């Protein structure tokens, strides 16, 4: 969803997701599942459980949102969203530097003495301004210091200590962009269990998705896609200046992105997908892209196959899987 979230638009989305969910099997009547913690919530439990989770932090101008449960949303707000938001605000500002980060350290070490002050980039000449207000330091402390020609100045930039939260922020945004594209077809994949662990524990070191820097000339496109590397397809997503690479679907025993060196991360095929109201497999040039293997249906197989080709002029198509033996896809 785009724009401002209101009580009405949140409820509309929850109802829509419930209808979508019901196509995955029985037992989802009046239920909505949070895409990140995969907990079930009752549509009738009122508005408390349904919150609008922004895909990119609202503080950095993100206006696209989706459904998240209240717990996930507030947890992300304090961790990944906070630091990704600060990072994106600097990125969005052509003159931005790390010193412009919202969270600043108040402590500066000058010739090994720690004092309270603030650091900023000078508007006049681009140099660094250091302000040491007397009233923020113990009486007499600043006066007792010798400011000679040679000053050794050290200070911390809090944002640089939160690279983990920034990376998980990108992973969370990419995961939710896929959810916005294809709904629970994305969520019901066991290959994403570790990605959800990364998101919920805010720990990029868990072996799930991988975040790769994009060259600056590749940043104009954004969205979901695939990348094929050494004969393996990985679902991916471009988020602002990064490429997030997800593990391959559960049918294929392939290395996880963490252990793969991507030689040409810019060879991205963007995909045009749509939320279709039934479970379906997605293939790209014969490679599995999305395999929802956690259906409640009996037998637990997707109904349809959505086939996409890289070749120009070859239209993507939807095929019925009713008579096909897809049981090997559900392990």
Binding site for Zn ion (CB under 5 A): 34, 37, 69, 72
Closest CB to Zn ion among 183 and 257?
A: 183
How far, in Å, are 44, 108, 244 from residue 157 at the CA level? 46, 10, 25
Least distance from C-beta 78 to Zn ion, angstroms? 14
Q: Residue 309's Cα: distance from chain center in Å?
A: 26
Least distance from C-beta 69 to Zn ion, angstroms? 3
Least distance from C-beta 187 to Zn ion, angstroms? 11
Least distance from C-beta 76 to Zn ion, angstroms? 9
How far, in Å, are 126, 148, 156 from residue 178 at the CA level? 41, 57, 36
Between CA 57 and CA 288 the distance in angstroms is 31
Helix (H) or strand (E) holding 118: strand 118-121
Closest CA to 88 of 244, 222, 268, 242: 242
Q: What are 131's strand-pairing partners?
A: 118
Closest CB to Zn ion among 41 and 306?
A: 41
Closest CB to Zn ion among 54 and 242?
A: 54
Least distance from C-beta 176 to Zn ion, angstroms? 12
Closest CB to Zn ion among 55 and 72?
A: 72
Q: How far apart are the first and last CA of the chain?
A: 33
In the chain, what are the helix, strand and coil shares in percent, each to the nearest 5? 30, 25, 45
Closest CB to Zn ion among 79 and 288?
A: 79
Least distance from C-beta 260 to Zn ion, angstroms? 29
Closest CB to Zn ion among 110 and 199?
A: 199
Q: DSSP of 63-81, one letter per residue?
A: -BEEEEEHHHHHHHHHTHH
């Amino acid at each position: 969803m785009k724009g401002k979230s209101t009580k009405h638009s949140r409820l509309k989305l929850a109802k829509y997701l419930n209808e979508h969910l019901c196509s995955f099997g029985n037992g989802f009547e009046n239920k909505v599942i949070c895409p990140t913690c995969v907990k079930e919530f009752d549509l009738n439990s009122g508005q408390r459980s349904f919150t609008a989770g922004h895909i990119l932090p609202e503080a950095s101008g993100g206006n696209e949102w989706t459904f998240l449960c209240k717990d996930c949303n507030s947890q992300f707000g304090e961790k990944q969203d906070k630091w990704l938001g600060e990072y994106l605000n600097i990125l969005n500002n052509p003159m931005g530097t790390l010193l412009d980060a919202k969270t600043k350290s108040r402590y500066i070490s000058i010739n090994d003495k720690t004092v309270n002050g603030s650091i900023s980039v000078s508007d006049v000449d681009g140099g660094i301004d250091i302000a040491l207000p007397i009233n923020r330091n113990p009486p007499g402390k600043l006066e007792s210091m010798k400011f000679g020609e040679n000053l050794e100045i050290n200070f911390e930039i809090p944002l640089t200590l939160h690279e983990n939260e920034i990376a998980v922020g990108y992973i969370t945004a990419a995961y939710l962009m896929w959810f916005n594209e294809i709904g629970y077809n994305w969520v019901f994949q066991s290959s994403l269990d570790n990605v959800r662990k990364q998101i919920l524990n805010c720990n990029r070191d868990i072996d799930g998705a991988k975040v790769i820097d994009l060259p600056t000339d590749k940043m104009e496109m954004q969205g979901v896609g695939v990348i094929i590397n050494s004969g393996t397809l990985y679902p991916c997503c471009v988020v602002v200046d990064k490429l997030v690479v997800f593990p391959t679907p559960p049918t294929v025993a392939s290395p996880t992105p963490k252990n793969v060196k991507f030689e040409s991360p810019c060879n991205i095929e963007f995909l045009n997908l749509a939320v279709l109201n039934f479970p379906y497999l997605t293939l790209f040039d014969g490679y599995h892209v999305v395999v929802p293997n956690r259906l409640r249906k009996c037998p637990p197989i997707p109904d349809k196959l959505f086939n996409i080709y890289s070749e120009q002029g070859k239209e993507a198509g939807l095929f019925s899987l009713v008579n096909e033996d897809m049981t090997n896809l559900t392990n």
